[in-house]
Amino acid sequence: MSVQDILRKSEVNADGTPKKKGFFARLASGFLLLMVILMGLGNWADTKQLLTEAYQAFITNFTHQIENNRVASLDIGNYLQFAQKSVGIPQVIKASNLDPTIEYRYYKDPKYLLTLINKDQRIVGIVLHSLQQNNSIISEFTPMVPFTDNLLKVNSIADITLDSNLFFYDYQNISYYLQSKELGPQGMFLNLLAGFTEYEQVQPNAFSMLNELEHATLDGNSADVSALTQKLATYPANFYAISEIPPEYIADSLLTKHEFKAYF
């Protein structure tokens, strides 16, 4: 018997004639009906949340639609509170070694590592790494690089940063190489960077080439430096960055291999 049947039965006499209700009886009946409605709404809210989570899990396992939409919703100049509506609260926050008023906010997802660079509650830099996936159902996460027609893990560093002669590298704390170029008016004069790191996947021969680049740089051998950077730029980029601050901050924001393992 439903709650509605119980309520209707309590409103009639034994001979079937309507029963007159007192004030408190009417109040109790109304209160009970309100509770039934509120319980129904609560169950619907829970059901809706479960359905939404199930849908998002399905989409995530078979497409990159949610991840692409989440990243595409972020722009340089966004206020931090607005950006957090899309990406939530970071797992890790670090102060910049170059400027303590700038902070790096790290968001780890199975498909990517996102870094938002924040200054005065405003996003001044965005770094996106595509991470290695062990999923036979779906291809790797290859997001579009902003202001280009290139894709991460598909196009090379040189493809993304055409005519760039500004580079950064390391092979001790973390093996990485990146190049930077300034975009023109169509890119609002922001800095576009692309490179590779060894967070979850080591590039073949990258460590030895970075070691050689270090020695060539210290020796002032410009010919060897040029040759080595051209080779390193042929590697597929597994991260890109957009920023309105100098590219040194992007290099500074990269986690060491020990930090990456410890945090995530």
Can you read off the two tokens belonging to residue 3? 């709650």
The torsion region of residue 120 among left (phi > 0), alpha (psi -120 to 50) and beta comes to left
**In terms of Cα–Cα distance, which of 119, 188, 192 is closest to 162?**
192
* Full-model pTM: 0.78
List of long-range contacts for 84-87, beta carbons under 8 Å, 24+ apart: 87/114, 87/116
pLDDT reported for residue 7: 44
Q: Which residue has the higher pLDDT, 4 or 122?
A: 122
pLDDT level of residue 56 (50, 70, 90 thresholds):
low
- Per-residue HEC secondary structure of 31-48 comes to HHHHHHHHHHHHHHHHHH
Q: Which residue has the tokens 């290099």?
A: 251
Distance CA 220, CA 144 (A): 36
pLDDT tens digits for range 60-97? 666 888 899 999 999 999 999 999 999 999 999 999 99
Give the range among 19-33, 44-58, 201-215 with minimum mean pLDDT.
44-58
- pLDDT score of 10 more than 70: no
pLDDT reported for residue 261: 92
**In terms of Cα–Cα distance, which of 165, 123, 167, 130 is closest to 145?**
130
191-197 and 102-108 as β-strands: parallel, antiparallel, unpaired?
Answer: unpaired
Average pLDDT value for the chain: 86
- pLDDT score of 229 more than 60: yes
Query: For the chain, what percentages of helix, strand and coil (3-state, to nearest 5) are there?
Result: 40, 20, 35
Q: Which helix (H) or strand (E) holds 158?
A: helix 157-160
pLDDT reported for residue 134: 74
pLDDT tens digits for range 195-223? 999 887 778 899 999 999 999 999 999 99
> Angle CA(183)–CA(188)–CA(190) in degrees, nearest 5?
50
pLDDT reported for residue 8: 55
b/e per residue, 113-128, with b = 16+ CB within 10 A?
Answer: bbbbbbbeeebbbbbb
Q: Which residue has the higher pLDDT, 263 or 133?
A: 263
